Structure 1
Amino acid sequence: MTKTRQLIVFSLLALAMAGLGGGGAWWWLKGRAPAGDTAQAPAKPVYDKQEYKYISLDKVIVMLRGQAGEPMAHYLAVDLVFKAPAEKERIVKEHLPLLRSVAVSALSTYPLEKASKMTIAELAADINAAYQASYERDRKEQPFVEALIGKLIIE
């Protein structure tokens, strides 16, 4: 065989192998697709149609624990916002003194170093966990979906 003929045969074999590989991949991926999903249209986002009210709890102030012998006291001030279904707005407003107390209990355990290094999301997650634990302990349904942080000051 001449060199040109060998090159043509090798090219045809490589093309055939690539075609078989591509066809095999297509067949395998087609078998993994859900039934009836041929075009794989993008999923439409699901919107929450529930009406919510936002109830604020302003000026929750807590003294942070400092190092022993530290001359200055440090404080954390936070404004909370409760996202509640519209029909439970009145219940959340009635629970505001309890909600303030639970927030103070949860936040007063933080030393200054830990509180200043936490992100808003981490702090909100800890506060929400404290609220869930409080309502579970009292065997009551939590009247709000989540507590959000509207303002945070650490000094």
Structure 2
Amino acid sequence: MKTKAKLIAVIAGVALLAASGAGAAVWWMQSHRAAPAGDAKAEAPKEEVKPAPDYKYVTLDKVLVMLRGPNGSAVSHYMAVDIVFKTLPEHEKRTKEHLPLLRTVTVKALSVHTVESATAMSVEDFALLLNKAYQANYAAEHREPPFAEALIGKLIIE
């Protein structure tokens, strides 16, 4: 009977030791998770996340461009593209006023392509090409574009 009592006492001691070790581990994890009151990181205000601006979208519909043949001659193939300009609400009116200029820059940038080169390009390639052309035009005039980005709304190569 004495051996049973010793065995129960040893098991109870091991359980008590394990429980106190677990409690100490939890306490240590909690104290290191929260920053101390004097820590510089705790005193610095959290950086506010600004919501994305509420963009307006201005469309430039039906820009038609004649494509060139393989030797540079005019052929009966054309490209029709609808472009959407992503702009801030306060620049929407200015973007609409610039649509004739943007149409001209679009035709100039796209008219150098042959049928083969145009069909080989993706929509993303055309958007990148047009955005570069718009940026270059506004940089040459020393002005900021009234839009953030030009997107392709529709692209037809016929």
TM-score scaled by length of structure 1: 0.67
Matching of residues 79-90 of structure 1 within 5 Å: 79-90=82-93
- 1:82-124 per-position Cα deviation (integer Å, ceiling 9, x unaligned): 0001110000000000000000000001111110010000110
Partner residue, 2:31: none
**Alpha-carbon distance in structure 1 between the residues aligned to 2:137 and 2:104:** 10
- 1:23-49 per-position Cα deviation (integer Å, ceiling 9, x unaligned): xxxxxxxxxxxxxxxxxxxxxxx7752
Number of positions where the alignment pairs a residue of Structure 1 with one of Structure 2 = 111
Matching of residues 26-37 of structure 1 within 5 Å: none
**Does 1:137 find its partner at 2:135?**
no
| Offset of residue 70 of structure 1 | 7.5
**Alpha-carbon distance in structure 2 between the residues aligned to 1:148 and 1:103:** 12
Larger Rg: 2
Unaligned runs of 5+ in 2: 1-48
Cα RMSD (Å) of the superposition?
2.1
**Alpha-carbon distance in structure 1 between the residues aligned to 2:94 and 2:79:** 27
Q: 1:128 aligns with which of 131, 135, 155?
A: 131
Q: 1:116 aligns with which of 109, 116, 119?
A: 119
CA 1:118 to 1:70, structure 2 compared with 1: closer, same or farther past 3 Å?
same
**Does 1:76 find its partner at 2:85?**
no
Q: 1:107 aligns with which of 103, 106, 110?
A: 110
**Alpha-carbon distance in structure 2 between the residues aligned to 1:69 and 1:127:** 21
Identity of aligned residues (%): 55
Matching of residues 9-88 of structure 1 within 5 Å: 48-68=51-71, 72-88=75-91
Partner residue, 2:14: none
Range moving further from structure 2, 60-69 or 77-86: 60-69
Unaligned runs of 5+ in 1: 1-45
**Alpha-carbon distance in structure 1 between the residues aligned to 2:60 and 2:72:** 33
**Alpha-carbon distance in structure 2 between the residues aligned to 1:94 and 1:141:** 14
TM-score scaled by length of structure 2: 0.66
